[in-house]
Structure 1
Amino acid sequence: MSIFDPDSKNRLPSAPFTFQSTLNPTDVDEIAYPQSTKFYKKDEGSFDAESYLTVSSTGDAVVEQNVAINNYQKIHLNPLFMYDGDINWSESNQTLGAKFNPSSVNGLMCYVFGKEPKEKAEKVGEEMIHQDIQLYMCSLNDLMDDRRSFMEATRVDRKDIIRTIKLSNIYSDYSNLISKRIRRLEGMKSKDDISDKIYSELDTFQDIFSVWELCRIIYIPSKQEYNQFGQFSHELLKWINHCFPLPDEFFWSRLYKLILRGSSQAKTYLESIIKDGGAEFSDHIKLVLDILDSRPRTTELEYHEFNLRRHEWLSKISDLQTKLRGEGFLEGKINKILMILRGHTKTITDECSTWQEALGGLVYHRRPTCDVQELENILNVILKEKKTCNTALDDALIQFIFRKVEKGIQHCERIDLWLSAHLSDILNKLDLVGRINSQSSHQKKKFNITTQPDVDIREYCLLNYAESMVSHTTLWQLAFKYFEHCEICGYSYISQLVVRIPFEDEYKANKLLSICKHNGLTLQEKTISRRYASAIVYFINAGDTASLEVIYRMFLDYYIDTGKLTFLDTIESIQLDDASPVSIKFLSRYRLFHALKQNGEIQRAGAILMELLRAQVAPISFWPVLLLNALPLLQEGKARKMIIFSTQDTLEILRNLQDVTSFVYQDECLACIERLKKWHTQENGYSELDKNLTALRLALLQNSADCYIENSSSPWMFE
């Protein structure tokens, strides 16, 4: 994970503690080495990205490529490389190796390796190859932070979308968000200091909108549009005019294009000819204006009536063409307008600058009642006359018109991963996309991938899009929402990536743990928890009691909400002494209490519990938990005929129980009990909880009676 610009707001903050990966760098494919011998500068955590060398094996041949990385100068590692001492790495024997991330189409996994100095070698005079077990991640894609709100607004929050009008509504919502994004970027163009990146972003969103709207017209018509003939040509012409604005051209060329696009501005241009040209042009121009005004419209007529009116209208055009013969200059100019209105293929294609413009002109003027199925034949005619630019946009649009949805979506990946992900998600609900192999053919060759599960193109695109957000400071959460909607590979991605997200505070750690819990990732949950051990040691050494208190409270809250001791396992690896913070020692003793109870050493466990209660270290919100921990000890002691708590201990527990259920602490107690009820159920082996902790009171009273009976038989009672 990385952000290229060192000053970028997207750059992940470095945490003072990082997990140690159990992955072996040999598990990833395609080794790559930066070419510079002094690429890594102290305290930057980055390497130069002017070029790096990739090596891929094809049989016995080795192919070397120089790869440019979006013209950025730096690639930043996450987590940052931590120096063991005041040593400039560029002057040492270490270097950086990188391999392509097997779960990524645009990321690297990096690691440190090199020869140990002779003085550190086991045998004098030898140098040992050393490889750091820490893996670093970086992405070769940069993500604009300004796009964050847009991406959050379009997050995946549903698994199934029924094929009804709701699908059109969702598609329309996305379309509106794209339009808002375009308007915002266009507004930013008025600023004096605007980067080329903004212009590039605007171009990208305009391409996104072009593809998005074409797919709406072709694949997702509303019920009204199904029943209205000629609606398709009307929508297609609107798409042309909105997504491909007219360029600046000379008067007559622009007039022809306005006529071709069905623009109302054409009448203004014709009226200006009458005004500037005098009487010799006025009569003929007025006839052209009359023809434009009398054009039959599909939205106003029934099908048969429209065809009859259109036939009469075309006859008027032929009559005017006859009148214009011999008029010289005027004949040629106006006749070209009339040829466009008649739908003459050659005239339309010659006057169009792009194939999209020609497509709209032929549909509107030659086949105004055509449907989607006819569009493919019309485009074939155009492509014989007009050349395409072979851009990602052109290729995607053409494939969608030919109804080759999978190929169209693959070209959308070249435009933007957001587009391919959300478009495939929508079209998948219409059963318009099939299954492909999870890696395209060029990626198989590049990454030497031979065995990958087959996924539908929707999941493939969602995975790629989600992974592009993993390195972002806030959007990483959305990435996991998308992963959760990938039925085949999503779980695997979550399990691999969730432990690689660095967390600098308990708030982010809780989010990571929630992801683990939601997806049943127990091992990853423990891995994240163990990372807190490094944090605790760091804060202890730094004397940061405030941070330790935050971690301490988080551990307690986690137990209240889940009943799990995952966090407390991290305490085992920390060496504590008398000078250690009381909060951390409390956690250590509480973990020992549970270990003793689990091992059946209930008397020792009872002694530890009383020690914790008397210490008064735990916050009021945790008192009900400590008190309830006494209940299973009392019950097991009763079954084994053992006295766990003395009379004095029992009275102290009762006194604490009275405190937490009294008016003073009642709210904290009730809130804690409600949280405990989520997992403290009879199905899980616990007794029912109530606000008065009745079961605990009864057990304590019974224990008092047992203590009295046992003590009453002792000799001192009769002295």
Structure 2
Amino acid sequence: MDDSNVPSFELGDALATRCGNTLTGVFLPGSRIALSAYRHVTHSSRDAPTETAGQDPVLVYLAQESTLFDEPVLRSVLAESNATFATLQQLGLRATRAEYVKLSRVYRSIVRACLEKLEQAKKSPEVQTDEARLRRFTDAIMVFYAAECLWHLFEILYIQNNQLVVPQLLDWARFHSSQAEDRATDLLLMAEEASESDNYWSILKSLIMLGVIDVTRAILSQNRKAGQPAFKAAELILKSMPVYQEGYALQKFHSQWEYWHVDTERKIQTGLFATEPELEQILRLVTGNNEQWDAAIKESKDCYEYLPGYLLFTKPTCKPFELRIAASNWLNRWHLLRPEKEQTSINRMIAQLMDHDIRLFIYEAQKLNDTHWFSTHLIDLIHHCGQLKSYFDQNNIDLPALRHSMIYEYGSYLMTSHNLWQLGFDYLDCCKQEGQAAIELLLPRITLRSERQATKLINLARQRGLKGVEQEICKVLSKRSYDAERYGNALEWAIRSKDLLLVTAVADFILKHYSRTGNMLCPDTIANVGGRMFISPRLVFLSKYYEFYEFYRTRDFMSASELLVNLLQSRITPDYFWPSLLIDAMPLLESKDQTILAKETVAILHHVETELVPIIERDVSKYGKHHTETVFKDYRVENVDEILNLMRLACARNLARALITENTMPVA
């Protein structure tokens, strides 16, 4: 989508509109909004108060992202579905239909388990007393109930792809109308006393309309009148009802079913059940009597609740292509009898599935408030199983491109969430170059909560060859450690970032701290820098100076003297550290044992005059008499001029001794 085609919206109030400065916004990927001023403002625009300044209250808009997955109990859905998604990618496009059906059921089992957890958590006192959380849990239950219901129906019609769908549709309806079976269980437990219950017959009617024949027979067999002819005849009718089994000849089944149907209607018309009008109504439902079914429809809560049961008693061998017409007729009938009921979103989507309108179904699925979890995983499954390839080709829909787009958006959403970013990698990895670019952009934006998390991010970046991301994370950790006064960590992360300026800055701080306090920070880290010192000249100086520091501390004065002279000649000494370096040379020059020879002494004196003196003169002209307070600070001296004189004197003394020592012939 071009920038010119991105829809925008306005955020305005009376004050902003009157001042001609209404904000306009544009939605960006990653749950972000880009805001800009309606009035064109540049760097040269004059920022002057308006005539109405201070007369009206200023409104501050606070926008906060809110998703269902803020609740920990819901994150298990994302984690488990992520594992199933990865398994599906490994199977590829050549798996068997049974394997795809199995994975589809795994997705549904994840949602069902989540619904159970949500129902339990919703009853807890913590949720019941928190209105916001209670509302979130209620919304989540509605969303995932719809997702499971729709996925189950899609699996029956398009993944299993059985020629006869009524048995599967009955299972679907029973699961999503479980209240009737729960009440039926209560009746079974009541035994003979159940027939005295006020809702006894209404429950039996619900069971029949759901196609639950066996439970209905069990409840009727416990009735106190079960021994009467009417109840015995009803038991025989329900028991002898033909049920199609896979592999059975359709023509033979139709003959048996027609005979049973005609025989049942004949028994009803003869008045066999006239003494038990409620029982007769149940048997009329079994025969598909329109008058009885219309009365039942008027009492139903959902338009598709009893459709599978109606098909069981009127068209038990309904095929998928016949379901479209049957569902359309049923829906028209339901709306005619229940004109006051508006069609819900889930009912619309059920109708689209039964009508084979997959394109519109996918469009509606993306409106579910589940951050595209349902639509993304379902589209991926559709792409892999290949059952609807001809449909998408006929409708000029590029299924691979649609799948790629949805996985990319879903993966990007996960990557921008501080709790879910680890799950986003598997999705973006499926998007090849575009996904790799998204990872490279989003990975550095993840909030670093610990070094352990940062190490995990660095490893992920390294696996994908994202050196820039790795270095960016190291820079962030270095700065964070520096702010926390963990200077060893700061130096280590700076070195790993390979950022010259950052490494130099941390090394500068350590050197300046030493020159002012005499305390060497993070000696262990500096000692283990090794060959990595060559990232920055300042780090080289710090490492070598630390070696000198260690030689001096262990009283290895010869090695210390040699290294000190090398540092002086290396020309990498920072200006602010010259006084400290020269002060370190003074004890060696004044020591009783000759450690610095004449040549090295001359070199030291040369550096004093050519390096230190020009710096002092430059700073005097810049800072005046306070130059020593601004640049040169060492805990061992208060006046640089004094050090300068002492250094010249020490060099002169050592040079005199060295010349005498070096030019004196040893006694034979």
**Which category describes the TM-score, using the shorter chain as reference length?**
0.5 to 0.7
Letter in 2 for 1:431: G
Instruction: Check whether the contact 2:108–2:152 (CA below 8 A) recurs between aligned residues.
Output: yes
CA distance in 2, matches of 1:508, 1:27: 39
Question: Structure 1 residues 590 and 505 mapped into 2: Cα distance closer, same or farther (>3 Å)?
Answer: farther
Question: Structure 1 residues 141 and 32 mapped into 2: Cα distance closer, same or farther (>3 Å)?
Answer: farther
Q: In structure 2, list runs of 5 or more residues that go unmatched.
A: 51-61, 129-133, 184-197, 336-340, 393-397, 515-520, 552-668
Displacement of 1:492 in angstroms is 3.9
CA distance in 2, matches of 1:190, 1:421: 31
Displacement of 1:255 in angstroms is 2.2
Question: Structure 1 residues 496 and 290 mapped into 2: Cα distance closer, same or farther (>3 Å)?
Answer: same
Displacement of 1:242 in angstroms is 0.3
Residues 387-424 of structure 1 show CA distances to partners (whole Å, capped at 9, x for unaligned) of 37433322222222222323222222233222112111
Displacement of 1:188 in angstroms is 2.8
- What residue is the counterpart of 1:465 in the other structure? 410
Displacement of 1:529 in angstroms is 3.5
Letter in 2 for 1:374: E
CA distance in 2, matches of 1:413, 1:125: 44
Question: Structure 1 residues 410 and 612 mapped into 2: Cα distance closer, same or farther (>3 Å)?
Answer: farther
CA distance in 1, matches of 2:539, 2:137: 64
Displacement of 1:376 in angstroms is 1.2
Question: Structure 1 residues 434 and 349 mapped into 2: Cα distance closer, same or farther (>3 Å)?
Answer: farther
- What residue is the counterpart of 1:103 in the other structure? 29
CA distance in 2, matches of 1:177, 1:524: 34
CA distance in 2, matches of 1:184, 1:482: 26
What SS does the aligned partner of 1:502 have? coil
Letter in 2 for 1:385: R
Letter in 2 for 1:319: R
1:169 aligns with 2:169: no
310, 314, 319: which one aligns with 2:261: 314
Letter in 2 for 1:187: Q
1:295 aligns with 2:247: no
Displacement of 1:616 in angstroms is 8.3
286, 302, 308: which one aligns with 1:360: 308
What SS does the aligned partner of 1:176 have? helix
CA distance in 2, matches of 1:125, 1:187: 57
- Within-5 A mapping of 1:188-207: 188-193=121-126, 194=128, 195-207=134-146
Question: Structure 1 residues 27 and 509 mapped into 2: Cα distance closer, same or farther (>3 Å)?
Answer: farther
1:396 aligns with 2:349: yes
285, 288, 293: which one aligns with 1:340: 285
Instruction: Check whether the contact 1:406–1:433 (CA below 8 A) recurs between aligned residues.
Output: no
Instruction: Check whether the contact 2:352–2:361 (CA below 8 A) recurs between aligned residues.
Output: yes
CA distance in 1, matches of 2:294, 2:254: 24
Instruction: Check whether the contact 1:529–1:570 (CA below 8 A) recurs between aligned residues.
Output: no
TM-score if structure 2 supplies the norm length?
0.60
- What residue is the counterpart of 2:513 in the other structure? 579
Displacement of 1:483 in angstroms is 2.0
Instruction: Check whether the contact 2:79–2:423 (CA below 8 A) recurs between aligned residues.
Output: yes
- Within-5 A mapping of 1:239-318: 239-246=172-179, 250-263=199-212, 264-271=214-221, 275=224, 282-299=228-245, 302-303=248-249, 304-318=251-265
Letter in 1 for 2:355: F
Question: Structure 1 residues 141 and 176 mapped into 2: Cα distance closer, same or farther (>3 Å)?
Answer: closer
521, 527, 534: which one aligns with 1:593: 534
CA distance in 2, matches of 1:267, 1:177: 34
Residues 203-243 of structure 1 show CA distances to partners (whole Å, capped at 9, x for unaligned) of 2222221112112211222xxx85xx64x311110110001
Question: Structure 1 residues 306 and 423 mapped into 2: Cα distance closer, same or farther (>3 Å)?
Answer: same
- What residue is the counterpart of 2:632 in the other structure? none
Question: Structure 1 residues 586 and 359 mapped into 2: Cα distance closer, same or farther (>3 Å)?
Answer: farther
Letter in 2 for 1:147: L
What SS does the aligned partner of 1:357 have? coil
Residues 441-469 of structure 1 show CA distances to partners (whole Å, capped at 9, x for unaligned) of xxxxxxxxxxxx99733233323433443
Displacement of 1:526 in angstroms is 3.8
Letter in 1 for 2:108: S
Report which stretch shifted further, 507-516 or 363-372. 507-516
Displacement of 1:334 in angstroms is 4.1
Report which stretch shifted further, 392-401 or 341-350. 341-350
- Within-5 A mapping of 1:407-446: 407-415=360-368, 416=370, 417-431=372-386
Instruction: Check whether the contact 1:396–1:408 (CA below 8 A) recurs between aligned residues.
Output: yes
Letter in 2 for 1:265: V
CA distance in 2, matches of 1:615, 1:402: 83
Residues 672-719 of structure 1 show CA distances to partners (whole Å, capped at 9, x for unaligned) of xxxxxxxxxxxxxxxxxxxxxxxxxxxxxxxxxxxxxxxxxxxxxxxx
Displacement of 1:382 in angstroms is 0.8
Which has more helix, going by share of residues?
2
CA distance in 2, matches of 1:528, 1:34: 38
Instruction: Check whether the contact 2:115–2:141 (CA below 8 A) recurs between aligned residues.
Output: yes
Residues 534-568 of structure 1 show CA distances to partners (whole Å, capped at 9, x for unaligned) of 324413xxxx33xx444555567x6xxxxxx5466
Q: In structure 1, list runs of 5 or more residues that go unmatched.
A: 1-24, 38-52, 55-61, 65-96, 129-135, 438-452, 559-564, 597-603, 618-719
CA distance in 2, matches of 1:292, 1:322: 17
- What residue is the counterpart of 2:80 in the other structure? 153
Question: Structure 1 residues 594 and 550 mapped into 2: Cα distance closer, same or farther (>3 Å)?
Answer: closer
427, 440, 459: which one aligns with 1:514: 459
Question: Structure 1 residues 296 and 349 mapped into 2: Cα distance closer, same or farther (>3 Å)?
Answer: same
What SS does the aligned partner of 1:384 have? helix
Question: Structure 1 residues 553 and 305 mapped into 2: Cα distance closer, same or farther (>3 Å)?
Answer: farther
CA distance in 2, matches of 1:293, 1:613: 96
Question: Structure 1 residues 210 and 530 mapped into 2: Cα distance closer, same or farther (>3 Å)?
Answer: same
What SS does the aligned partner of 2:156 have? helix
TM-score if structure 1 supplies the norm length?
0.57
Question: Structure 1 residues 26 and 428 mapped into 2: Cα distance closer, same or farther (>3 Å)?
Answer: closer
Work out which of the two has the higher radius of gyration on C-alpha atoms and give 1 or 2: 2
Displacement of 1:507 in angstroms is 2.2
Instruction: Check whether the contact 1:506–1:551 (CA below 8 A) recurs between aligned residues.
Output: no
Instruction: Check whether the contact 1:236–1:360 (CA below 8 A) recurs between aligned residues.
Output: yes
- Within-5 A mapping of 1:665-704: none
CA distance in 1, matches of 2:415, 2:294: 46
67, 80, 99: which one aligns with 1:141: 67
Instruction: Check whether the contact 1:29–1:100 (CA below 8 A) recurs between aligned residues.
Output: yes
What SS does the aligned partner of 2:431 have? coil
Percent identity between matched residues is 17
CA distance in 2, matches of 1:529, 1:550: 10
What SS does the aligned partner of 1:108 have? strand
Question: Structure 1 residues 490 and 363 mapped into 2: Cα distance closer, same or farther (>3 Å)?
Answer: farther
Give the total of aligned pairs.
480
- What residue is the counterpart of 1:405 in the other structure? 358
Residues 38-63 of structure 1 show CA distances to partners (whole Å, capped at 9, x for unaligned) of xxxxxxxxxxxxxxx99xxxxxxx9x
Instruction: Check whether the contact 1:405–1:432 (CA below 8 A) recurs between aligned residues.
Output: no
- What residue is the counterpart of 1:182 in the other structure? 115
- What residue is the counterpart of 2:156 in the other structure? 217
CA distance in 1, matches of 2:73, 2:443: 25
CA distance in 2, matches of 1:537, 1:454: 50
Which structure has the higher relative contact order (CA within 8 Å, separation 6+)?
1
Question: Structure 1 residues 102 and 196 mapped into 2: Cα distance closer, same or farther (>3 Å)?
Answer: closer
What SS does the aligned partner of 2:33 have? strand
- What residue is the counterpart of 1:447 in the other structure? none
What SS does the aligned partner of 1:370 have? coil
